Amino acid sequence: MPDTFNRAELLERVDHDMDFLAETVEMLVTDGRSLLADARAAAVAGDAPALGRAAHALKGMISNFCAAPAQDAALAVEKIGKSGDLAPSGAAIDTLHANLESLISDLQSFVRGGA
């Protein structure tokens, strides 16, 4: 499994409660993808503040999973929103999307396998 998240740290964070982890992963699936869609819509609309807010919220959600690569990708999008220059937002959002989907897939596999 790729290093999309720190398994040991995550298990410690959830007190080794795999049921709780499974619930939080499902929230990430729903809410994380919704926030990503909000970020993409904000970028298309040219709304830099909304882009920054959506990316910031997604970064916070991702941070709960000890997932540095996806968190860094969300931070990059957040910084674009704060800068007001949305030119690089498309590529940055695509990178965030790829990182989020990899994280979700790996977390779901982890929860199913329990390892």
pLDDT in tens, 29-76: 999 999 999 999 999 999 999 999 999 999 999 999 999 999 999 999
The two three-digit tokens of residue 75, written as one number:
């931070």
What was the pLDDT predicted at 1? Answer: 43
Q: Let me know if residue 2 belongs to a domain.
A: no
What would the pLDDT profile of 82-103 be if each residue is shown by its tens digit?
A: 999 999 999 999 999 999 999 9
Q: Let me know if residue 1 belongs to a domain.
A: no
Find the CATH number of the domain harbouring 78.
1.20.120
The domain total for the chain is: 1
User: For residue 95, what are the contacts with CB-CB under 8 A and spacing of at least 6?
Assistant: 73, 76
The pTM of the full predicted model, rounded to 2 decimals, is 0.94
Q: Let me know if residue 71 belongs to a domain.
A: yes
Domain residues for the domain of 47 are: 7-110
Measured distance CA(115)–CA(111) in Å, rounded: 8
